[in-house]
Amino acid sequence: MRALFITLPALSALTLLLAACGSQPPAPEQNPAGVESRTPGAIKVDTNPVAKVQPDTFDPGSIAALKDPRSPLSKRSVYFDYDSYVVKDDFQALLTAHGKFLSVNPKMKMLIQGNADERGSREYNLALAQKRADAVRKALVLLGAREDQLEAVSLGEEKPVCTESSEECWAKNRRGDMLYSGEF
């Protein structure tokens, strides 16, 4: 039998060669472990232990969106300037949301109640409030609602939300309220 003699440098080289053959590079989807600093200044502590939750999104076509305070559909009033029945630009997004909702939900009905402040005669306020309700109805039809889904009525000055005699209070009473099926 023949003896095999290996020198120390050759043994080291052979060990490295065998070690290199036996290991595989990490798979591309694996991330190598990072180096962590243990110095006191490098430690970051989350001062808010509560998990951050993203707000749920709502479906603007869902009937539940009518009651969801995050939904524009939960807002139901369009306010008007004094002695005017022109829908202000501020309310176009609100009316667009309601128009889309009605177009997606053809069985839903809406009652639009026109309102006026206490100034002016009873007849004048009834007529102005009707024009306000009609303006909201026409806007909703242009934005996708069907005529047969909408009814516009005048309440005149009979349903105030504020009873003080001030401009701030009167402004709250110059409105068109949108009520859906089951709310009237």
**Domain at 117, CATH number:** 3.30.1330.60
Q: Has residue 156 been placed in a domain?
A: yes
Number of domains in the chain: 1
Asked whether the whole model's pTM tops 0.75, one would answer no
Cα–Cα distance for residue pair 66/127, rounded to 1 Å: 29
Name the residue range of residue 174's domain. Answer: 80-180
Token pair 């007849």 is at which residue?
123
Where is average pLDDT lowest: 42-56, 80-94, 133-147, 159-173?
42-56
Q: Has residue 60 been placed in a domain?
A: no
Q: Has residue 57 been placed in a domain?
A: no
Residue 61: band (very low, low, confident or very high) from pLDDT cuts 50, 70, 90: confident
Q: Are 132 and 152 in contact (CB under 8 A)?
A: no
Strands, DSSP E only, in 31-173? 77-79, 110-115, 150-156
Cα–Cα distance for residue pair 123/130, rounded to 1 Å: 11
Q: Has residue 29 been placed in a domain?
A: no
Q: Has residue 145 been placed in a domain?
A: yes
Cα–Cα distance for residue pair 184/180, rounded to 1 Å: 7
pLDDT of the residue at 117: 97
